[in-house]
Amino acid sequence: MIKNFYITTPIYYPSAKPHMGHAYSSIIADFFARFKKIDGYQVHFLTGTDEHGLKIQRAAENKGMETSKFCEEISQTFKNLTKTLNLSNTDFIRTTEQRHKKSVQHLWEELKKNDDIYLSKYSGWYSVSDEAFYNDDEIEEIDNKKIAISSKSQVEWVDEESYFFRLSKWEKPLLDYYEKNPDFISPESKKNEVISFVKNGLKDLSVSRKSFSWGIKVPNDDDHVIYVWLDALTNYLSALNYPNKDDLLFKKFWPASVHLIGKDILRFHAVYWPAFLLAAKIELPKKVYGHGWILSNEEKMSKSKGNILDPIEIIDQYGLDPLRYYLIKEVSFGNDGNISQERLEDCINSDLANNFGNLCQRVTAFTIKNCNSKIPNKIKFNNDDLNILNKYEKNLNIIRSKIDNQNINYYIDYIVNSLFEANKYFNDQEPWKKKDDIIRLNTIVYTTLEVVRKISFLLYPIIPDSSLKALKIFNLSEKDINLNSIGNNEFLIKGNSVNKINILFNKIEKKDD
């Protein structure tokens, strides 16, 4: 049976070049995409840029550039980042593309047809930075400036004719949906926040703007552009060629398996988006996961605080896989996490260089010297060997279900423990003292090589490039990685060559070392 998996990142505003927060969402999404791929799923992984609205129009004006030219340039930096981060995305969508405009206008017409859209007037607060409307009780005044309490961004007063979406009508159906689908909003800690927001009462939502023109036009009313969030959220459908529901992509991948987002945009994804979809009679995504923030010096990164971390600079200094490993391991998934260069260096030295890199080097060097550079032929497992080998088969379904619950912390702990055990096994078994018992020596080598193979498979979603380098020891490549084979304790073909590989991770000399 073909299993499909559709994962999305938020589409990023091309208002300034990408920072570590954007890289984080994308790397995590890539982790899930790669895991599912090696577990036999057909994966659709979407990312892209959200290019309309006043925020982008003003950012272009500030640079004195034509808006479309400005978007083109910055969107390209996000596209380049997908390569720099080694993302396995299968599509990159820009909301200025024709395929997207068509979908958005169609969705609008569906909402209109079902009487979910009406013309009225909006008078209230708007934050251009968040592209969000705020009620009076969501605003505070600091230094004579009106600020949105949740995001701390400045708001301005808007008074203009606007189309409205009957969000209030969907309050009860949304609450019912959350109840019947307890996993729809994750993690659990964020769910209650959303539910109480909805329970407090939903007001109809302004879904068009008249005072600027950088957006998708409302069908049959050229004076209005569609609200940028209604426009942006639709990207998840337009990338599957909605409204063509007979399209193969749509049939295979809708509803989405997970919309991975930062917690800052949970309301849009867990309230507005499902309400639009219910109104348009389109199935709802299976899950919206709001991860925490990457903090720099314990604060959310922002231009005004001057604490923006540039992923490219870190990658230039340490390499991509160390950054991927660090972000996946050290930021407890679902919570905020402070990024620190010192911890990153510790991860490289202890986990990557000492535990993984060293194990690969030791066992290959030993095999080359003592087993004629071949995967040993005659072996006989004892209980010590089976103990370390069998746990992968035993735990595979647990790992799968942890991943389906986005429990990345379990996954990474599993790998760290496995590496520790593998090193301990090799040390304790002392194959260098078994030169008189060739079968025992062979078996220890074979077992350790098998464990290196299994762990390299598990590391592939986290550090794909380094995992592939390690698998070169066995002449294995990407197409050979398959989770189902992880329980096979004799996957490595006896008598095949074992290759020497270059050092996988260079240790960082620390100042206080």
| 3 state SS of 123 | strand
Q: Least distance (Å) from ligand MSP to the CB of residue 275?
A: 14
Q: Least distance (Å) from ligand MSP to the CB of residue 306?
A: 14
Residue selected from 79, 252, 300, 402 as contacting ligand MSP according to rule CB under 6 A: 300
Please tell me the distance from the alpha carbon of residue 263 to that of residue 286, in angstroms, as a whole number.
17
Residue 201, class by beta-carbon neighbours within 10 Å (0-12 exposed, 13-18 middle, 19+ buried)? exposed
Residue 385 near ligand MSP by CB under 6 A: no
Residue nearest ligand MSP, Cβ-based? 21
Q: Least distance (Å) from ligand MSP to the CB of residue 155?
A: 16
C-beta of residue 1 within 8 angstroms of C-beta of residue 41: no
Instruction: Give the up-direction half-sphere exposure of residue 505: CA atoms within 13 A in the CB hemisphere.
Output: 31
Q: Least distance (Å) from ligand MSP to the CB of residue 68?
A: 17
Q: Largest Cα–Cα distance of the chain, in whole Å?
A: 89
Complex with ligand MSP: residue 36 or 263, whichever CB lies closer: 263
Residue 24 near ligand MSP by CB under 6 A: yes
Residue 161 near ligand MSP by CB under 6 A: no
Residue 426 near ligand MSP by CB under 6 A: no
Residue selected from 5, 6, 13, 242 as contacting ligand MSP according to rule CB under 6 A: 13
Please tell me the distance from the alpha carbon of residue 393 to that of residue 403, in angstroms, as a whole number.
16
Complex with ligand MSP: residue 91 or 264, whichever CB lies closer: 264
Q: Least distance (Å) from ligand MSP to the CB of residue 309?
A: 9
Complex with ligand MSP: residue 210 or 300, whichever CB lies closer: 300
- From the list 209, 126, 212, the residue with the least C-alpha distance to 161 is 209
Complex with ligand MSP: residue 294 or 422, whichever CB lies closer: 294
Residue 469 near ligand MSP by CB under 6 A: no
Q: Which residue has the tokens 């299994």?
A: 454
Dihedral sign computed on CA atoms, order 118, 124, 127, 128? positive
Residue selected from 218, 233, 389, 504 as contacting ligand MSP according to rule CB under 6 A: 233
Dihedral sign computed on CA atoms, order 501, 502, 504, 510? positive
Distance (Å) of CA 377 to CA 3, 24, 439, 445: 37, 44, 9, 10
Residue selected from 25, 418, 442, 447 as contacting ligand MSP according to rule CB under 6 A: 25
C-beta of residue 56 within 8 angstroms of C-beta of residue 436: no
What is the DSSP-derived secondary structure letter of residue 41? E
Q: Least distance (Å) from ligand MSP to the CB of residue 466?
A: 24
C-beta of residue 100 within 8 angstroms of C-beta of residue 94: yes
Which residues inside 48-87 make contact with ligand MSP, applying CB under 6 A? Answer: 50
Query: Cis bond leading into 274, ω under 30°?
Result: no
Phi (first) and psi of residue 511, to 5 degrees:
-55, -40
Residue 5 near ligand MSP by CB under 6 A: no
Residue 459 near ligand MSP by CB under 6 A: no
Q: Least distance (Å) from ligand MSP to the CB of residue 264?
A: 5
Tokens of 215: 């957006």
Residue selected from 56, 237, 279, 301 as contacting ligand MSP according to rule CB under 6 A: 301
Complex with ligand MSP: residue 233 or 470, whichever CB lies closer: 233
C-beta of residue 283 within 8 angstroms of C-beta of residue 56: no
Complex with ligand MSP: residue 262 or 357, whichever CB lies closer: 262
Residue selected from 11, 270, 353, 445 as contacting ligand MSP according to rule CB under 6 A: 11
The count of residues interacting with ligand MSP (CB under 6 A) is 20
Complex with ligand MSP: residue 208 or 418, whichever CB lies closer: 208
Residue 43's identity, in one-letter code, is V
Complex with ligand MSP: residue 15 or 442, whichever CB lies closer: 15
Complex with ligand MSP: residue 21 or 464, whichever CB lies closer: 21
316-336 in b/e form (b: 16+ CB < 10 A) is eebbbbbbbbbbbbbbebbee
Residue selected from 215, 262, 274, 464 as contacting ligand MSP according to rule CB under 6 A: 262
Please tell me the distance from the alpha carbon of residue 371 to that of residue 380, in angstroms, as a whole number.
16
Residue 334 near ligand MSP by CB under 6 A: no
Tokens of 46: 């979407």
Residue 7 near ligand MSP by CB under 6 A: no
Please tell me the distance from the alpha carbon of residue 394 to that of residue 497, in angstroms, as a whole number.
29
C-beta of residue 315 within 8 angstroms of C-beta of residue 333: no
Which one of the spans 17-25, 201-209, 395-403, 418-426 is the region binding ligand MSP (CB under 6 A)?
Answer: 17-25
Residue 12 near ligand MSP by CB under 6 A: yes
User: Which residues have CB under 8 Å from 40's CB, separation 6+?
Assistant: 3, 482, 483, 484
Site string for ligand MSP, 267-296 (x = CB under 6 A): --------------------------xx--
Complex with ligand MSP: residue 185 or 233, whichever CB lies closer: 233
What is the DSSP-derived secondary structure letter of residue 375? -
Residue 376 near ligand MSP by CB under 6 A: no
86 torsion bin: left (phi>0), alpha (psi -120 to 50), beta (else): left
Interacting residues with ligand MSP (CB under 6 A) = 10-13, 21-22, 24-25, 50, 232-233, 235, 261-262, 264-265, 293-294, 300-301
